[in-house]
Amino acid sequence: MSDKKKKEKSEQGMPGKMPPAPGRIQNPGAVIKRLLSYMKEYRLRFTLVIICILISAGASALSAMFIQVLIDNYLTPLMTQKNPDLTNLHIMILCMGGVFAVGALAGLAYNRLMVTISQGIQKKIRDEMFAHMQTLPISYFDRNQTGDIMSRYTNDIDTLRQMMSMSIPQMFSAIFSIVTVFAAMIVLNRWLTLFVLLFVGLSMFVTKKIASGSAVNFVAQQKQLGDVNGYIEEMINGQKVVKVFTHEEAVKEEFDRKNEALCQSATAANTYANILMPIMNNLGNLQYVLIAIVGGALAIFGISSITPGVIASFLQLSKNFTRPISEISSQINAVIMALAGAERIFALMDEESEQDSGYVTLVNAKYDENGNITESEERTEMWAWKHPHGDGTLTYTKLCGNVVMDGVDFGYTPEKTVLFDVSLYAEPGQKVAFVGATGAGKTTITNLINRFYDIADGKIRYDGININKIRKSDLRRSLGIVLQDVHLFTGTVMDNIRYGKLDAPDEECIAAAKLANAHDFIMMLPDGYNTVITGDGGQLSQGQCQLISIARAAVADPPVMILDEATSSIDTRTEALVQKGMDGLMYGRTVFIIAHRLSTVQNSDVIMVLELGRIIERGTHEQLIEKRGKYYQLYTGAFELS
């Protein structure tokens, strides 16, 4: 564990490893192409969506033109007649009613279709991402912070959903409106069109200015917010210490300082965001007025052949031209953020999975009449390694739990070796202990045995088989590991124990709990085995969590057990009881123990003292005491393990 922590820290300090700032995309083309590939399944529906969007946008474009047509083509000619015949006009209105109804229906259709598409794609990406994440090697989780990975499931997917369900349809219909309205404007009057374009350019310039000011302040706000939230988190988690030291006043002072800074940047950021809309709106209004004046001037002073009707409809059109433009500009930000999020998601999905070229598998076995091991269909108490060879033959090796390491060198990074020439032999039934300071490489050795990290071929053998040839899932199934940092999952106590063996009946889980000495306190919990524990077992003490995790490993009943500081928070008396239970279980099995407390390892068959990645002493407790070396110093308390 400690090795992992260290690496995380050095990673944090490394510049350039930070997640890319939102809004920066390395390769937008590739991201879009990949997103489109998810659309494939919905090809038909998406085509339908586009058609419906066009119909709906067409209807709303017609609604904008409608008034002008009504005035110029119907009302103005009719006004000159003495007894106007309104039949045509009424027919036209009814026809429009039909068109509008179709438009609204098309709107409903594409909105609902789009929900299915965007939710479906979102779910697919989410599920694929999680499934892929499960295949990633441990080193990936060392390199990346939890919060960073989490944000892909929360923020990134959410922006993607918003883009698909809102931005894309809006942009499609906006582009359509812009094209049609622009065509209509050109037809009506070129000069006025040019004027509108100039004005649009101006307002886009203003928008860009405000948006960039807003971006700077939003970044500052995010930073301050992170600062305040970080402080809140540290202080709430340390609240009991604050209380014990009656340090409330000092903490409040510091908090107020940070809170004030956040308030300032939040005000600045929101101010920019808030003034954008009124400015855009009223620039639109200003444009309206100017068109009226310019149009009026053109008409009255005869500069261009322009009729009042043209000006009136141009006024309407200009509004319908600027609206979609500001819609697009407000959506572009969302699209960029979503694409950046998608890129981060795809980056996770492109991470290389854990390599596994193992072909030796673990099977249920039995002896046939000749005393040879054969594969069995049913669950037997015996397991064997099924080893197919190059020449097509199969051999079966009984699973015993014999582990051999032979001159292993290892480093998490090529530059820094953390294990030097480590050799060990663990016979079935033996208890092998590792003792040494933090960072001596104890956990690293166990990480290699279960292939969380891989080393060069042939250096580690399990029952005589090169572990690189064993399929990882089978290798790990044959190893039980109890880690120092206990991780329980939200669910009942029973569920948590059963995690070790999913088909274990209740009795088996309870038996495992008794073995781990956890039964008594579990029965004291409000609902016994059905008590729901949340998160990392907040309502249980560290020692109790450790007992449950031992029960979890016990129920899996593997031939090899690795106990990495598994009893560090348990008092010595309970520990002795647990060990007694475990010894019964472990009879004839291989156990690796890592511990700080020497009383935990004392009765091991062999104890290895590690220092800076090397085994410096090995032997039984008695032998090591006799040797008067490092172990002796540790034992007599002359030396402290850090």
Query: CB of 335 within 8 A of CB of 163?
Result: yes
d(CA 428, CA 143): 35
**Token pair recorded at residue 268:** 């600045």
Sole residue written with tokens 């050109």: 186
Cβ at position 331, least distance to another protein in Å: 16
DSSP state for residue 354 in the 8-state scheme: P
Cβ at position 388, least distance to another protein in Å: 21
Cβ at position 390, least distance to another protein in Å: 27
**Token pair recorded at residue 130:** 């999680």
The continuous run of DSSP H or E covering 590 comes out as: strand 590-594
Q: Which is nearer to another protein, 373 or 548 (CB)?
A: 548
Query: CB of 410 within 8 A of CB of 448?
Result: yes
Cβ at position 172, least distance to another protein in Å: 14
Q: Which is nearer to another protein, 193 or 318 (CB)?
A: 318
Q: Which is nearer to another protein, 340 or 518 (CB)?
A: 518
Q: Return the amino acid letter for 134.
A: Q
Q: Which is nearer to another protein, 483 or 608 (CB)?
A: 483
The continuous run of DSSP H or E covering 408 comes out as: strand 403-410
Cβ at position 448, least distance to another protein in Å: 13
Cβ at position 395, least distance to another protein in Å: 24
Q: Which is nearer to another protein, 123 or 208 (CB)?
A: 123
Cβ at position 63, least distance to another protein in Å: 6
Query: CB of 210 within 8 A of CB of 269?
Result: no
CB neighbourhood size of 496 (10 A): 22
Cβ at position 188, least distance to another protein in Å: 14
Question: How far from the centroid of its chain's Cα atoms is residue 546's Cα?
Answer: 27
Please state the length of the chain.
642
Sole residue written with tokens 């202990």: 433
Q: Which is nearer to another protein, 387 or 596 (CB)?
A: 596
Interior/surface letters 201-224, b for 16+ CB within 10 angstroms, e for the rest: eebeeebeebbebbeebbebbeeb
Q: Which is nearer to another protein, 26 or 154 (CB)?
A: 154
Describe the crossing of helices 542-556 and 572-586 by its angle, rounded to 10 degrees: 0
Cβ at position 403, least distance to another protein in Å: 15
**Token pair recorded at residue 44:** 């038909």
Q: Return the amino acid letter for 252.
A: K
Q: Which is nearer to another protein, 360 or 483 (CB)?
A: 483
Cβ at position 264, least distance to another protein in Å: 8
The sheet with strand 465-466 has its strands ordered as 419-426, 403-410, 460-462, 465-466
User: What is each CA distance from 243 to 240, 259, 427, in whole angstroms?
Assistant: 5, 21, 52
Q: Which is nearer to another protein, 423 or 541 (CB)?
A: 541
d(CA 243, CA 608): 43
Query: CB of 215 within 8 A of CB of 273?
Result: no
The continuous run of DSSP H or E covering 407 comes out as: strand 403-410
Q: Which is nearer to another protein, 374 or 474 (CB)?
A: 474
Q: Which is nearer to another protein, 374 or 602 (CB)?
A: 602
Query: CB of 155 within 8 A of CB of 341?
Result: yes
Cβ at position 434, least distance to another protein in Å: 17
Query: CB of 459 within 8 A of CB of 406?
Result: yes
Cβ at position 203, least distance to another protein in Å: 12
Cβ at position 277, least distance to another protein in Å: 7
Phi then psi dihedrals of residue 249, to 5 deg: -65, -45
Q: Is 346 helix (H, G, I), strand (E, B) or coil?
A: helix
Q: Which is nearer to another protein, 408 or 497 (CB)?
A: 497
Sole residue written with tokens 């000011």: 213
**451: closest CA among 562, 593, 551?**
562
Q: Which is nearer to another protein, 51 or 275 (CB)?
A: 275
Cβ at position 393, least distance to another protein in Å: 28
Contacts (Cβ under 8 Å, ≥6 apart) of 228:
255, 258, 259, 262
Task: State the number of CA atoms in the 13 A half-sphere of 265 facing the CB.
Answer: 18
d(CA 478, CA 560): 6
Q: Which is nearer to another protein, 299 or 455 (CB)?
A: 299
Cβ at position 238, least distance to another protein in Å: 4
CB neighbourhood size of 196 (10 A): 23
Q: Which is nearer to another protein, 248 or 368 (CB)?
A: 248
